[in-house]
């Protein structure tokens, strides 16, 4: 196999089509000016979505709509009775198994309550001190004396995967395989056979961990799931495997992209970078502005349950609604100068972690990881700046967004 075929970073880029779309925001803004919700032709979907639509729906494609304005996105995500998450069972759910991603209320709330036991404030403090900090600093140790680095490939891409691997109890010797499988798992629309194989391989890996944790529980997520109860009964193995498969890409991707996007934003705005370096109380608002400005996962899906309207636009039953959090976060009726990165803008709730009952369960973990990474970079890489010889570093992507590379220089 070639290096590109075995390298998780290269596999990821190839599978997700990063580099193909520089900015979706002009198109989203034009659509948003026309209407808060837009009916989409198949040709207007991302290539991965076109392929996925043809494979999964065959000749009976549903109608597709996209919710664009902040109000439209909030309405769809808030109302699980009209807009169901069950459609994920036909897409990524085929790889994950039945997880909270595809559950509606009240089942979703009960299952979410089980997983939430692993994300307590005490648990986050433990992971920050004993896991995230050491992993981030261990990676920086590898290049801190060099004076230059690619912060994406050498820091922001590998560290969240290593964190979630430890949190799920994956043995260190299997981390490289876990990293590769976490990328292959979400490649359903590009390489379906590879995604199926990755799903099965992860099941086998988690089965080995689960068997040990049932005998000797620890403080990892698999132990929590193994001994938690749902409706008075312990979770069965397949439910645990589904939860673990969901956490595998979710625990890695959001932080990988959000921390990469944040570092790019600050490096591209040196005055704001210097302000954060001098005053660390600005870190939280920098993280929130980074999430708003470049939402790492631009959109999610819902299925319309019955004929209805959103912001005055009719949507028929069984239509697929693409919910564009990226568009909502750039809605000019909510944010002044929405396309600009400005850590000093007035604070307003954004949609980067979605909204409503399905708001991202791991958002506090993602924020903590981004904070730890940013503060370590500021502490340990003096005079950090973009490499002026680098070839046009920028954020790209449509279904997912992040920079392919972030070449930097610093004083060693």
Helices 237-268/192-215 angle, 10° precision: 110
State the Cα–Cα distance between residues 125 and 85, nearest whole angstrom.
32
Which residue is it, tokens 């190839």?
A: 14
Return the DSSP state at 406: -
- Asked if the model's pLDDT at residue 201 lies above 70, the reply is yes
Higher pLDDT, 91 or 146: 146
Higher pLDDT, 93 or 14: 93
Structural domains of the chain, ranges and CATH numbers in brackets = 3-380+396-409 (1.10.630.10)
With bands split at pLDDT 50, 70 and 90, how would you rate the model's confidence at 296? Answer: confident
pLDDT digits (tens, 9 = 90+) for 206-251: 999 999 999 999 888 899 888 887 777 778 899 899 999 998 888 8
**pLDDT, the chain, mean:** 89
Distance from CA of residue 371 to its chain's centroid?
A: 16
Q: Region 75-84: what's the mean pLDDT?
A: 96
Percent of the chain at pLDDT > 90 equals: 66
- For residue 408, the cross-strand partners are 149, 386
Q: Is residue 208 helix, strand or coil?
A: helix
Q: What is the pLDDT of residue 197?
A: 92
- Asked if the model's pLDDT at residue 280 lies above 90, the reply is yes
Q: What is the pLDDT of residue 52?
A: 60
> What is the number of other CB atoms lying within 10 angstroms of the CB of residue 121?
8
Residues contacting residue 338 through CB under 8 Å, at least 6 positions apart:
329, 330, 331, 332
State the Cα–Cα distance between residues 251 and 182, nearest whole angstrom.
10
Residues contacting residue 92 through CB under 8 Å, at least 6 positions apart:
101, 186, 188
- Asked if the model's pLDDT at residue 372 lies above 50, the reply is yes
> What is the number of other CB atoms lying within 10 angstroms of the CB of residue 6?
11
How far apart, in Å, do the first and last CA atoms of the chain sit?
37
- Asked if the model's pLDDT at residue 311 lies above 50, the reply is yes
Handedness of CA 263, 267, 273, 277 (dihedral sign): positive
Lowest mean pLDDT among 114-128, 145-159, 329-343, 383-397: 114-128
Which segments of 117-172 does DSSP mark as H helices, in order? Answer: 121-127, 133-141, 151, 158-167
Q: Region 11-32: what's the mean pLDDT?
A: 79
With bands split at pLDDT 50, 70 and 90, how would you rate the model's confidence at 2? Answer: very low
């Amino acid at each position: 196999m070639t290096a590109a075929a075995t390298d998780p970073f290269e596999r990821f880029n190839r599978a997700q089509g990063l580099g193909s779309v520089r900015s979706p925001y002009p198109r989203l803004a034009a659509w948003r000016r026309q209407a808060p919700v837009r009916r989409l032709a198949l040709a207007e979907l991302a290539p991965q979505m076109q392929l996925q639509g043809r494979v999964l729906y065959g000749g009976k494609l549903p109608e597709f709509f996209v919710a664009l304005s902040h109000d439209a996105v909030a309405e769809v995500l808030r109302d699980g009775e009209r807009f169901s998450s069950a459609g994920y069972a036909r897409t990524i759910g085929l790889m994950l198994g039945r997880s909270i991603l595809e559950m509606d209320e009240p089942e979703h709330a009960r299952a979410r309550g089980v997983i939430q036991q692993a994300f307590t404030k005490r648990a986050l403090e433990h992971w920050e001190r004993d896991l995230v900090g050491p992993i981030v600093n261990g990676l920086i140790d590898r290049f801190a004396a060099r004076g230059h680095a690619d912060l994406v490939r050498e820091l922001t891409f590998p560290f969240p995967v290593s964190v979630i691997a430890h949190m799920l109890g994956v043995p260190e010797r299997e981390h490289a395989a876990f990293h590769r499988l976490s990328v292959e798992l979400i490649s359903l629309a590009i390489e379906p056979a590879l995604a199926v194989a990755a799903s099965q391989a992860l099941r086998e890996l988690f089965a080995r961990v689960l068997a040990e944790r049932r005998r000797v529980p620890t403080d990892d997520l698999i132990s929590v799931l193994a001994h938690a109860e749902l409706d008075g009964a312990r979770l069965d193995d397949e439910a645990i495997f589904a939860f673990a498969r969901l956490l595998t890409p979710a625990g890695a991707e959001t932080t990988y992209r959000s921390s990469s996007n944040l570092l790019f934003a600050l490096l591209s705005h040196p005055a704001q970078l210097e302000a954060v370096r001098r005053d660390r109380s600005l870190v939280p608002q920098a993280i929130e502005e980074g999430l708003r400005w470049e939402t790492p996962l631009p959109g999610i899906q819902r299925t319309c349950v019955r004929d209805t309207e959103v912001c005055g636009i009719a949507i028929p039953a069984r239509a697929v609604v693409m919910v564009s959090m990226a568009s909502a976060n750039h809605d000019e009726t909510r944010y002044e100068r929405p396309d600009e990165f400005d850590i000093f803008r007035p604070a307003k709730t954004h949609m980067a972690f979605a909204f409503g009952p399905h708001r991202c369960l791991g958002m506090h973990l993602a924020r903590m990881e981004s904070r730890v990474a940013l503060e370590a970079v500021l502490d340990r890489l003096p005079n950090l700046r973009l490499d002026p010889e680098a070839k046009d570093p920028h954020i790209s992507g449509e279904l997912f967004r992040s920079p392919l590379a972030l070449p930097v220089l610093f004083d060693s």
